[in-house]
């Protein structure tokens, strides 16, 4: 029905769509920081694109998905694939796609959900200039390391994140122990997936 995000998205893109029987299958758990809502938005756009024969380009899909999601962080890589750095500034979406270095990715997915609203509520409304500069420099080095294929450095920077992990640790108590164990085993690094509670490990 029209309360479903998939249907809402498809109808927003192509209002003239007629009723269809749709079977949706997804292995993405809800409220685990793995982009379940963004994947539904992307699927809705693709559904409208196919059924209404819109012939949308990847760039157009990213723009539409960003408008619906509010940011390109998850929808851009879901549409484009691989490693994507994206920004949404003054209604324009800018992105760079690059190959992610070869590695294993392990996901620790807790049984208990962590809803985005709760996870966002612990974030500060603003950061001091000095803190923002430090957080940006860490993120910049991490991205540069990935582009350079340097996973050891990228992982080290991931674990020093100052944008959100500092504030969300209390909601994700297992992060500290997972990080300790993965460091012992020689993994490149571990980090919160999205708003959590899932922890991703690069090995």
Q: Residue 197 in contact with residue 191, Cβ under 8 Å?
A: no
User: Residues, the chain, total?
Assistant: 203
Residue where the block lists tokens 């690094």: 189
Last residue of one domain, picked from the residues 98, 118, 141: 98
**What is the count of structural domains for the chain?**
2
70 and 93 share a domain?
A: yes
pLDDT > 80? residue 2: no
**Domain range for 35:** 5-98
165 and 86 share a domain?
A: no
14 and 85 share a domain?
A: yes
Tell me the pLDDT tens digit for each residue of 109-148. 999 889 888 999 999 999 999 999 999 999 999 999 999 9
Classify residue 21 by its DSSP letter: -
Helix (H, G, I), strand (E, B) or coil at 97: strand
Last residue of one domain, picked from the residues 30, 65, 98: 98
Give the CATH number for residue 25. Answer: 3.30.230.10
93 and 112 share a domain?
A: no
Give the CATH number for residue 148. Answer: 3.30.70.890
Tell me the pLDDT tens digit for each residue of 171-198. 998 999 999 999 999 999 999 998 889 9
Stated pTM of the model: 0.88
Tell me the pLDDT tens digit for each residue of 18-67. 888 888 888 999 889 898 999 999 999 999 999 999 999 999 999 999 99
17 and 93 share a domain?
A: yes
Q: Residue 173 in contact with residue 161, Cβ under 8 Å?
A: no
What is the DSSP annotation of 116-161? Answer: HHHHHHTS-S---HHHHHHHHHHHHHHHHHHHTT-HHHHHHHHTT-
Question: Structure tokens of 86?
Answer: 């994206």
90 and 114 share a domain?
A: no
């Amino acid at each position: 029905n029209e309360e479903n995000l998939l249907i809402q998205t498809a109808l927003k893109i192509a209002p003239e769509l007629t009723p269809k029987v749709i079977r949706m299958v997804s292995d993405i758990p809800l409220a685990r920081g793995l982009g379940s809502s963004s994947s539904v938005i992307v699927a809705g756009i693709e559904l409208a694109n196919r059924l209404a024969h819109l012939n949308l380009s990847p760039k157009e899909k990213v723009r539409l998905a960003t408008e619906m999601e509010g940011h390109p962080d998850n929808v851009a890589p879901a549409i484009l694939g691989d490693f994507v750095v994206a920004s949404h500034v003054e209604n324009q979406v800018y992105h760079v796609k690059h190959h992610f270095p070869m590695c294993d990715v392990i996901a620790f997915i807790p049984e208990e959900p962590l809803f985005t609203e709760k996870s966002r509520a612990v974030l500060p409304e603003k950061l001091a200039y000095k803190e923002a500069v430090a957080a940006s420099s860490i993120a910049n080095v991490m991205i540069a390391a990935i582009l350079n294929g340097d996973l050891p450095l990228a992982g080290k920077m991931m674990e020093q994140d100052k944008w959100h992990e500092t504030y969300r640790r209390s909601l994700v108590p297992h992060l500290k122990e997972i990080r300790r164990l993965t460091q012992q085993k020689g993994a490149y690094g571990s980090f919160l997936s999205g708003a959590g509670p899932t922890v991703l490990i690069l090995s």
